[in-house]
Amino acid sequence: MNESNRLPAEDRFSLNPMYLFRWEPTQDAHVLLYPEGIVKLNRTAADIIEHCDGRSGAAIVAALQARYPGDDDTVATGVYKFLEVFRAKGWIRRQA
């Protein structure tokens, strides 16, 4: 993703209230529950959704860079890509 196409780092994100994020033992994974069904999340998606609690994109990136040290640019790019996808799917939303 091109740096200029990224969501603004200061934008804050939260889970859409229509969804419930939780660990589901029967799925052996984190899931998003909503009235029409369930979305089983992979580990990366769950790690990012877990941080969508009003934090800024920059704060989410920093937390995940600390959790997964290594190539900070790769982590940042991946987080912003996931945030864009999650927002497009309606799972998360920007806070005012």
Distances (CA, A) of 45 to 18, 32, 38, 96: 18, 10, 14, 23
Matching CATH number, 8-89, of 2.40.170.20, 3.40.50.1100, 1.10.620.20, 1.10.10.1150: 1.10.10.1150
Distance between CA atoms of residues 9 and 83, nearest Å: 11
> What's the pLDDT at 13?
96
Alpha helices of the chain — where are they, by DSSP H?
Answer: 43-50, 57-67, 72-89
Give per-residue pLDDT as tens, 13-37: 999 999 999 999 999 999 999 999 9
* pTM for this model (two decimals): 0.85
Give per-residue pLDDT as tens, 48-92: 999 999 999 999 999 999 998 888 889 999 999 999 999 999 999
